[in-house]
Amino acid sequence: MNEKDYQYTLTIAACKSFSRAAELLYISQPALSRYISNLEKELGVTLFDRSTSPIQLTSAGIRFCSYANAILELESTLRNDLRENTQLSGKTIKVGAPFLSGEYILSHILPRVIKKYPHIQIDPIQDISDNLCQRLVAHQIDVAFICRTTPINDPSICSELLLFEDVYLVGNRDHPALAEYDTERASFDNPLILDVSTLKGASLIHCKPIAIMSFLAEEALKKLQFKPETEIKASSLPLALELTAQGVGFTSVMRCQLKYGPQSIVQSLCPIRLENCKLPFYISYNRLNRRNIPELDIFIKEAFEEYQDAQHI
């Protein structure tokens, strides 16, 4: 069978008329009738019930058209894929992402792009968001996932909001300050809801240097009138979470860091909702490069498709 077999049959099925289909296909009605008759002989089935008016597909015809649509769609996808790959520039796309949260973003995007477009070369680069902004403006990277409160203020750079990620306060489930709450049911999808100003005898563990996540969380805690008994400085987020798991105090963390973090630590932590404390993630890129580099345009489109229905990483 060939594409003409599918197109002719589908057109007749849509028109419910050999004569009307023949007009659309620029073929005579007798020639089209003979063509379909020969196809039916070849298949050993009858595709159309010619005794009705208008004509109808038989059960075999319905199955044939179902497969025909699938085959034509697959062929179209193949052609588009081959066309896109032959039009690639061969440039390696340098993709920037922030430390920690960037790992979770890239773990979703990179497999998707590589699977669909194996010829695209990607060089992932991780750095703090401020540095990624500078490197993007300086054309040292092509695209970046950036977490910050505002998009990049540069006319050559386009920043589009990708998603918001929740920032939680976390403490050990057995911490005395949480004794009156049902901490066992709390999870990264269903954080504990409470008045953080009522937490007594709680220490706050700061992650230094303060990242935008920590800054947002600490501003939210001030508005919620959370007054820690003591404040502790940790040199990194992993250390802050380790201290929190040991019951030393409370710290802030993104939802994705709980979702993908080490279970030995995460299971002991109780996430607490901080109202309106969400970290925006932008995908930022040079406008001109997106138009001129096919690989970059493909990557950006795939990133949005991956997260278009997602609220979180």
Q: Answer yes or no: do 187 and 42 share one domain.
A: no
Q: Answer yes or no: do 79 and 139 share one domain.
A: no
Residue 301 confidence (pLDDT): 92
Q: Answer yes or no: do 15 and 152 share one domain.
A: no
Q: Tell me, what CATH number does 177's domain have?
A: 3.40.190.290
Residue 167: count of CB within 10 angstroms of its CB: 24
Q: Tell me, what CATH number does 79's domain have?
A: 1.10.10.10
Domain that includes residue 305, residue range: 90-313
Q: Answer yes or no: do 48 and 126 share one domain.
A: no
Of 67, 86, 105, the residue at which a domain comes to its end is 86
- The answer to whether 166 and 254 have CB atoms below 8 angstroms apart is yes
- What are the tens digits of pLDDT across the range 271-288? 999 988 998 889 999 888
Is pTM beyond 0.85? Reply is no
Length of the chain in terms of residues written: 313
Q: Answer yes or no: do 197 and 118 share one domain.
A: yes
Q: Answer yes or no: do 193 and 295 share one domain.
A: yes
Residue 59 confidence (pLDDT): 94
Q: Answer yes or no: do 241 and 178 share one domain.
A: yes
Residue 123 confidence (pLDDT): 95
Q: Answer yes or no: do 165 and 294 share one domain.
A: yes
Q: Answer yes or no: do 21 and 125 share one domain.
A: no
- What are the tens digits of pLDDT across the range 225-247? 999 999 999 988 889 999 999 99
Counting as low any pLDDT under 70, the low residues of the chain are 79-87, 209-210
- What are the tens digits of pLDDT across the range 73-112? 888 777 666 656 556 778 899 999 988 778 888 888 999 9
Of 86, 103, 138, the residue at which a domain comes to its end is 86
Domain count, the chain: 2
Q: What is the DSSP string of 192-256?
A: B---GGG--S--EEEESSPPHHHHHHHHHHHHTT---S-EEEESSHHHHHHHHHTTS-BEEEEHH
Q: Answer yes or no: do 62 and 152 share one domain.
A: no
Of 59, 86, 113, the residue at which a domain comes to its end is 86
- The answer to whether 295 and 93 have CB atoms below 8 angstroms apart is yes
